[in-house]
Amino acid sequence: MNTRRDLVRELIGRWREDPGATYRSWFLWDERLKNFRSIRRGIAQVVAEIEAGRFGVAYRGSSLETVVHSVAEQRQIFKGADHAFLWKPKLRIPDIYENPDNQRAFGRLLHHCSCCDNAEEIISGIHAIDRLKIKGLGPAVANLLYFLHPTLVPPFNTAIVKGYNALSGANVKLGSWEHFLAMRSGILDLNDRYRNLLSNDLGAIGGLLFDVGYGRYPPPPPDDAQALAGDWLARLDEARAQAQKLDKVTIAQNESDRSHTEIQAWLRDLGHALGYDVWIAANDRGRLHDGMPLGTRCLDHLPNAVATASGGDSIRLIDVLWLERGNANVTAAFEVEHSTSIYSGIVRMLDLALSGGDLHASAGLFLVAPDAREADVRAQLRRPAFSRVADLDISYLPYGELEQHREAIARFGSGLKAIKAIAHRLP
């Protein structure tokens, strides 16, 4: 007879193979890791503005809104991550906008955890903020801490709590740091128990708990109800079949990924036609387009002067770079922003532009996105968090213009003149 541990292992195995579940649709998503650095940079900016007294008294338009918005766009698992930070005037929560002391305490927590390198220090910081009992500021902050320490802090939301309670039999409640820390301890135990199916990155088990709590998978029956195990396996199959029929979100996400890869391929081929060496983002090189890896005929590694420059780890994740053939001069950088926040792409552009030296100081910087997104992009760039962008020579390259003119530019163009002619200056 199957034990409950066997049933949980069965559940995890099926979850890993489900194309619509969070393991394949989010945890293995190429863009997920690319966003870690930019979110961390955003958190550092929030801390700096609080310390300098420039943060302000509103969530809207703040650097915190920018970084939380970027977290919330990390696919379905983080949808609604911004709700906990939205100012609720009738309740006056979370009380980090109108109360300067609370705001500075919040900044200290983020700074403390940014500098930590072990769980004990993180937990100490959480206890410190918990003792202040700041109204409305609870474990939702863990979603920011996850992007600082993915192996030490699990993500947190209502569905994850429900999933954890269902798998563990616990009664964790929302809104309590004490309950969050207890759940974290239990999550670490679960993760150790099924480590060969999960990951050191707690995003994996967070995704599993999310899918269970969201109702995608029924939890296994308790040990004292083993007669139900056969029925549970049947319900598991039924739940997966129903979920696959309803996976409109996943289908849309897959379409978005395909569009993103296709645009990268257009830019790759155009760069080659214009005589440039081409670099494809390090974690996109293996993605297939027309049956071939996206990195085919592209540079295997960045020139040493670029790779070792300040911000080199971020630069290697820019979607497409054009370099002068045979040297380290970056001529153009392209970030493809199909549907997600422009925040991560802008941070990588800034890292390139501010990385020192003059090898790529004059590089053309292009945000490449659907025609309909231009107004949204311009609105986002007007936020104070993007004030440095005004100093950059950055342009908006619409899909439609690129599709219409790329073949002519490849045949008759030279340099960046034609690309700049079809792009729109920002901000």
Query: Domain end: 188, 215, 242, which one?
Result: 215
Domain contains 16: no
> Could you give the CA distance from residue 344 to residue 350 in angstroms, rounded to a whole number?
10
Task: Examine the domain organization and report whether 256 and 211 are in the same domain.
Answer: no
What pLDDT was estimated at residue 135?
Answer: 94
Task: Examine the domain organization and report whether 85 and 199 are in the same domain.
Answer: yes
User: How does residue 196 score in pLDDT terms, banded at 50, 70 and 90?
Assistant: very high
Please state the domain count of the chain: 2
Domain contains 246: no
Query: Domain end: 194, 215, 236, which one?
Result: 215
For 391-407, what is each residue's pLDDT tens digit? Answer: 777 899 999 899 999 99
User: How does residue 72 score in pLDDT terms, banded at 50, 70 and 90?
Assistant: confident
Task: Examine the domain organization and report whether 208 and 305 are in the same domain.
Answer: no
> Could you give the CA distance from residue 182 to residue 187 in angstroms, rounded to a whole number?
9
> Could you give the CA distance from residue 28 to residue 314 in angstroms, rounded to a whole number?
19
| Contact criterion met (CB below 8 Å) for 297 and 285 | no
Task: Examine the domain organization and report whether 203 and 273 are in the same domain.
Answer: no
> Could you give the CA distance from residue 214 to residue 272 in angstroms, rounded to a whole number?
46
Task: Examine the domain organization and report whether 120 and 177 are in the same domain.
Answer: yes
Task: Examine the domain organization and report whether 289 and 374 are in the same domain.
Answer: yes
Query: Domain end: 215, 243, 269, which one?
Result: 215
| Contact criterion met (CB below 8 Å) for 358 and 350 | no
Domain contains 114: yes
For 36-51, what is each residue's pLDDT tens digit? Answer: 888 998 999 999 999 9
* Domain CATH for 338: 3.40.91
The answer, yes or no, to whether residue 376 has pLDDT greater than 70, is yes
Task: Examine the domain organization and report whether 302 and 348 are in the same domain.
Answer: yes
CB atoms under 10 Å from CB of 223, counted, come to: 11
User: How does residue 165 score in pLDDT terms, banded at 50, 70 and 90?
Assistant: very high
What pLDDT was estimated at residue 198?
Answer: 96
| Residue 139 DSSP class | G
Q: Which string of b and e fits 161-184 if b means at least 16 CB within 10 Å?
A: bbbbbbbbeeebeeeebebbbbbb
The answer, yes or no, to whether residue 231 has pLDDT greater than 80, is no
Three-state secondary structure call for residue 409? helix
Average pLDDT, the chain: 86
Task: Examine the domain organization and report whether 191 and 308 are in the same domain.
Answer: no
For 354-375, what is each residue's pLDDT tens digit? Answer: 776 555 556 889 999 888 888 8
Task: Examine the domain organization and report whether 406 and 266 are in the same domain.
Answer: yes
User: How does residue 235 score in pLDDT terms, banded at 50, 70 and 90?
Assistant: low
Domain contains 243: no
Domain contains 380: yes
Nearest to 335 by CA among 307, 354, 356, 314: 314
Task: Examine the domain organization and report whether 180 and 285 are in the same domain.
Answer: no
Residue 286 domain boundaries? 252-426
> Could you give the CA distance from residue 273 to residue 192 in angstroms, rounded to a whole number?
51
Quick check: bond before 384 cis, omega within 30? no
Task: Examine the domain organization and report whether 184 and 283 are in the same domain.
Answer: no
What pLDDT was estimated at residue 258?
Answer: 57
Domain contains 49: yes
Three-state secondary structure call for residue 288? strand
Give me the DSSP letters along 197-262: GS-SSTHHHHHHHHHHHTTSSPPPPPGGGGGGHHHHHHHHHHHHHHHHHT-HHHHHHHHHHHHHHH
* pTM score above 0.85: no
Give me the DSSP letters along 329-378: -EEEEEEE-SSS-SHHHHHHHHHHHTSSSSSSTT-EEEEEE-GGGHHHHH
Domain contains 7: no
What pLDDT was estimated at residue 227?
Answer: 46
Name the phi and psi angles at 117, rounded to 5: -135, 15
What pLDDT was estimated at residue 253?
Answer: 55
User: How does residue 289 score in pLDDT terms, banded at 50, 70 and 90?
Assistant: confident
The answer, yes or no, to whether residue 274 has pLDDT greater than 90, is yes
Task: Examine the domain organization and report whether 193 and 257 are in the same domain.
Answer: no
What pLDDT was estimated at residue 236?
Answer: 57
Domain contains 231: no
| Residue 26 DSSP class | I
